[in-house]
Amino acid sequence: MAYPQKGAAAVAPRIPGRTPSVHSPLRSVSRRLRRAAAVGTVSALAASGLVAASVVAAAPAVAAEKPKVTVVATGGTLAGKANGRDTYTSYRAGTYPMADLIAGIQPEVSAFADVDVVQFGNAGSGGYTIAQYRELTLAVEAALTTSDAVVVTTGTDTMEEFAYWLDLTVQNKKPVVITGAMRPWAAGDTAADATVLGSDGPANLLQSIRLAASQSTFCFGTVLMLNDEIHAARDVTKGNSTRNDTFVTRMSGVLGWIDGANVVVNRAPARVLDCASEDWFTPFDLDEVSGDLPRVEIFYNYQAAGGEAIAAYAAAGVKGIVTAGTGAGGISAAPGRERTAAINNQGMWFVSTTRTGSGSVSGGSGNIIPGGDLLPQKARLLLLLSRAFTEDVAVARGWFSDFGNPSFSTASLAGSVDPLPGGSTPEPEPTGEPTPTGEPTPTGEPTPTEEPTAEPTGEPTAEPTGEPTPTAPGAVAGGGTGGGSDGGFLAVTGMGGIGAVVLAALMMLGAGVTAVIRRRHRHLGEQVISH
């Protein structure tokens, strides 16, 4: 398959009956001249100290490279081979390699991203172990050292657990997007043969790469994208066994969606509040632990449930159990007794959650930690990591609050952010130094004011003293006020001698550039008209 050459120019077709525009070349030249003038102006301002050097560094590149996105593939239905083109539920997951699937969405994907592939595995999602989860995290982190974002593909059966695991463990703020499919890719010997009718795989793969490349979820942690909908890893769950729109975020709803080529994000996970600080990172850096991760299980409560499962887990050396209780987390009498015994005899930790699918569980003490509104399968992963990283149940309780159940709060800003339009200017704090005014400054050294100094020299000062007199907020260098006219225009700007010279030079530069643009416009206009 031949793809367009990188950088090849596209030629717009001429529309019958429409006169070719003479403005395009003029606008192009104008843009180049204005860009050159702007860069020169900002550079000059930076050199004079009037603009921070970081502004110059932030100037956009003329030809930005496409973002690099690494696809870490683990298999699933997305890579599945169906028994027929119209067969959606009878297939073998994890058959086709990801490189072949990427070839199937070329050249479209290369229009907005440079894509490479890491084939981590090729199996159904339910076949992966916790040890492999750990290796997956390390693979994603390794990819992010050279890529702008990562897309992880996997099966949908346990995709929400893959997503939350990565959300908790990946120590990088770059976008991580997980995706897959509800229908297999093809029914032939290769991914390019006998594409399944109505397969959602190609669109999900393309759009997940688009989302990752857009950087729209930077600092969101891991997000799940399927069926053009974007979900937070912590909140999302699979809500239907076969439908394409299977993933839902109960109570809160989606983070956003993708319409064609347009990525729309209208809410964010709470952790984005810490994007600029180290508080964004979780304590679960898997490079810091060695050996096998602890075993944690789930107990599902129901009417008159027995306690034998909890007793058996305790005897098997399980380190923690998540109880999926009725209502607000309640469990029956028999499992309740076995829970108490496991705490007293084995020091086991428990997390209380609800089987209802939404709603919060609170309370609990000692070795019983409330899971908040985490689903049982998500709480299990957080409990597993907590047991691996601390022996203090109180610390784990804090992690379930901070990382398991984060929430937005801007209360801390109430005392520091002005609530009114325009804000207010705080009064300057006294510094102990005399406030300079139009009166002589009692420093013993001459200052450039309109009043004579304490010891006049009889001759004008040829150069600055090297010790500029500080000005009060709102005052200008000449000693007047911001509304005065004693110093003229340059004095009103608050600039010293160097600043004034630079500003004058910039004004001359701007005038010269304007003249060049106008002359170039006339010249090109004459050329275009003559043709």
Are 111 and 8 contacting, i.e. CB atoms less than 8 angstroms apart? no
Interior angle at CA 44, CA 42 and CA 46, nearest 5: 70
Give catalytic residue positions: 77
Which residue shows structure tokens 């691996």? Answer: 388
Instruction: Report the chain's terminal Cα–Cα distance, integer Å.
Output: 40
The C-alpha atoms of residue 296 and residue 488 are separated, in whole angstroms, by: 76
Interior angle at CA 446, CA 440 and CA 450, nearest 5: 50
The C-alpha atoms of residue 126 and residue 159 are separated, in whole angstroms, by: 9
289 contact partners, CB below 8 Å, separation of at least 6: 388, 389
The C-alpha atoms of residue 200 and residue 204 are separated, in whole angstroms, by: 6
The C-alpha atoms of residue 75 and residue 69 are separated, in whole angstroms, by: 18
What tokens appear for 384 in the block?
A: 């597993």
**Phi, psi dihedral angles at 211 (to 5 degrees):** -65, -45
Which residue shows structure tokens 């439908």? Answer: 243
Which residue shows structure tokens 């030809």? Answer: 63
Closest-CA residue to 178 (of 255, 74, 287, 284) = 74
Beta-carbon count within 10 A of 16 CB: 5
Its sign, for the CA torsion 447, 450, 453, 456, is positive
The C-alpha atoms of residue 392 and residue 320 are separated, in whole angstroms, by: 13
User: 498: part of which helix (H) or strand (E)?
Assistant: helix 497-530
The C-alpha atoms of residue 440 and residue 463 are separated, in whole angstroms, by: 19
Closest-CA residue to 350 (of 404, 312, 314, 326) = 314
Q: Identity (one letter) of the amino acid at 62?
A: V
DSSP letter at 361 equals B
